Structure 1
């Protein structure tokens, strides 16, 4: 039996600030999730609404809620727009001001992991000049610096290629960065959406797919298996994985599409509006998530599996939105486990994880009054 734990990001339950963070945490626990990725915007909204903008106080409350619900905090994310900046004063500000605060927050949250998405900072809107470099030496050096600072504090970092990142937009290029950074506390996140979204899917195409999509994906997954077998890829440096699907759009995502946002990559606009949980074909899912997930598990991955959903459905203001997303997510995980024969126990909707806690409400949910 594989050692897999199932988690969900807080922003995948509903948009930050739309529903109270403690309510979202309760929904995750009630539906059987074992951990959450904490989205910094959720913490910021909690701090501004209840803790006089104190992120540290909000983190302390969140840690208390998670402990009462037996929820682990997988990571704090995203520490974005960091590596490869051309304006080095911005780099210094991130390292000298933002990073120490994140270390304090993460320590309070009892997580040692901070996620860094590959930089997708757009060109300067006034001059259209680049604000990042693709110079691999600069990117690697920046990430070595942050990894070394983290190591002195007991923290790890996980790096993820986004399918719209400016320079590092495939899992292969992200792994090459991790390999070159060469630090024990610096690893990789593999994400089915970002993998397929770059080489298999194209939301600007009428078909929703790239040319030769199946062949290109098969070659990429073959590399994943081959590199793992040969030792070129160290599976232990995959700190966690994310599984998620997306909708095939009914029309190309061009300037006439309702998801279009000027100045943003089409894949980013698609991602923000149209992700789905795995195995939700009935909602329009079409990415080969099971094929990708099978490759992840074939190479021996064990640990946290997170269902990172972004979707317009997360913006539904109804009180039940976060519960519905938690329920959909766990049903999705059940389908993945069944389809791949993973042989792991799938949590069922139950109150057993939260029974005996102080302040159980009428519906069996722990009450955390703010």
Structure 2
């Protein structure tokens, strides 16, 4: 990779971190040095010139699409609710295909109408994955830490294993792992080839004392890795995934109200420094480019 250290190229940004129009987000992310972008449905359907213009803007950017998000509350429903969600899933899959996204993110249900029966959950996930197969799309199932029945990643893995579909795997989100204080030992039971995406973020306090605080922190107060107070467990997660054999993408999913009020280049640069810290300071597999100054590391909080 001519201008990007290989390990740093494994990291990308998520558009949810940035304010402004889609084209400006894409330019800022690329100018910061990233080669990939995680897109949300609202980036596409909310474009003032229509979804086709949004799709063309993504194609013109030259950025690889890490994935497309997010399908919510899909599994465990029945009757007309299930049929409605199947229709929504088909539309999401079509948009993902048009964008060139190879991964569709689906997060565990929070619906009070959803069953907790694992076989029913697995059956629905299998149906979702089968819908995606003709389009060459993999489905990454993520456990929200406030999910009604599936709220830790080893539970989502149990559902994925039971579904037993070749294009169905996991998304692991560090925020939910940290907030729920889920043991990393469960990673040893997971096939690394079935981890399709890892989303990374930190936050600024040591614990969340209620479910509502957990949700509010997730939606408004995440920060980039290396900026919060969980640098050590976050580093442990990345190193453990690396040792497991995971070689896929890492995306910074950082919901932060403050970042929404800052210039795009400033926020994208903060993300780039986080990627450098993880790639060079944590994974330690990269080599400085010839004739270039060594990129500055973030100082991890103590």
- When the two structures are superposed, what TM-score results if normalisation uses the length of structure 2? 0.86
**Compared with structure 1, are the counterparts of its residues 64 and 4 closer, same or farther at alpha carbon in structure 2 (3 Å cutoff)?**
closer
| 8 Å CA contact 1:193, 1:245 repeated in 2 | yes
The 3-state SS of whatever aligns with 2:258 is: helix
**Cα distance in 2 for residues equivalent to 1:313 and 1:113:** 29
Partner of 2:186 in structure 1? 223
**Cα distance in 1 for residues equivalent to 2:15 and 2:161:** 30
How many residue pairs match? The answer is: 285
| 8 Å CA contact 1:117, 1:159 repeated in 2 | yes
1:40-79 map, 5 Å: 40-46=41-47, 49-51=48-50, 55=51, 57-66=52-61, 70-79=62-71
Partner of 1:266 in structure 2? 213
**Compared with structure 1, are the counterparts of its residues 291 and 285 closer, same or farther at alpha carbon in structure 2 (3 Å cutoff)?**
closer
Partner of 1:163 in structure 2? 145
**Compared with structure 1, are the counterparts of its residues 142 and 340 closer, same or farther at alpha carbon in structure 2 (3 Å cutoff)?**
same
The 3-state SS of whatever aligns with 1:194 is: helix
| 8 Å CA contact 1:274, 1:312 repeated in 2 | yes
Once the two structures are TM-superposed, the CA of residue 346 in structure 1 deviates from its matched residue by: 8.0
Once the two structures are TM-superposed, the CA of residue 74 in structure 1 deviates from its matched residue by: 1.3
Partner of 2:16 in structure 1? 11
1:90-109 map, 5 Å: 90-96=81-87, 98-109=88-99
Once the two structures are TM-superposed, the CA of residue 4 in structure 1 deviates from its matched residue by: 5.9
The 3-state SS of whatever aligns with 1:291 is: helix
Once the two structures are TM-superposed, the CA of residue 112 in structure 1 deviates from its matched residue by: 2.5
**Compared with structure 1, are the counterparts of its residues 169 and 50 closer, same or farther at alpha carbon in structure 2 (3 Å cutoff)?**
same
Partner of 1:213 in structure 2? none
Partner of 1:24 in structure 2? 25
Deviations along 1:202-239, whole A, 9 cap, x unmatched?
A: xxxxxxxxxxxxxxx5xx223323x2xxxxx2110111
Once the two structures are TM-superposed, the CA of residue 91 in structure 1 deviates from its matched residue by: 1.5
**Compared with structure 1, are the counterparts of its residues 247 and 290 closer, same or farther at alpha carbon in structure 2 (3 Å cutoff)?**
same
Partner of 1:240 in structure 2? 197
Deviations along 1:237-258, whole A, 9 cap, x unmatched?
A: 1112122111117x9767xxxx
**Structure 1 runs not aligned, ≥5 long:** 122-129, 200-216, 228-232, 255-263, 351-370
**Compared with structure 1, are the counterparts of its residues 340 and 119 closer, same or farther at alpha carbon in structure 2 (3 Å cutoff)?**
same
Once the two structures are TM-superposed, the CA of residue 65 in structure 1 deviates from its matched residue by: 2.8
**Cα distance in 2 for residues equivalent to 1:178 and 1:342:** 32
Once the two structures are TM-superposed, the CA of residue 61 in structure 1 deviates from its matched residue by: 2.2
**Cα distance in 2 for residues equivalent to 1:274 and 1:286:** 16
**Cα distance in 1 for residues equivalent to 2:90 and 2:97:** 11
The 3-state SS of whatever aligns with 2:226 is: coil
The 3-state SS of whatever aligns with 1:50 is: coil
**Is 1:148 matched with 2:149?**
no
Deviations along 1:130-165, whole A, 9 cap, x unmatched?
A: 322111111111111111121133221111111111
| 8 Å CA contact 1:3, 1:303 repeated in 2 | no
Which residue, out of 334, 337, 341, partners 2:276?
A: 334
The 3-state SS of whatever aligns with 2:249 is: strand
The 3-state SS of whatever aligns with 1:239 is: strand
Partner of 2:252 in structure 1? 307
The 3-state SS of whatever aligns with 2:72 is: coil
Which residue, out of 176, 180, 185, partners 2:162?
A: 180
The structure with the largest helix share of the pair is: 2
RMSD, matched Cα: 2.5
**Is 1:137 matched with 2:138?**
no
Once the two structures are TM-superposed, the CA of residue 286 in structure 1 deviates from its matched residue by: 6.1
**Cα distance in 2 for residues equivalent to 1:267 and 1:194:** 9
**Structure 2 runs not aligned, ≥5 long:** 1-5, 293-302
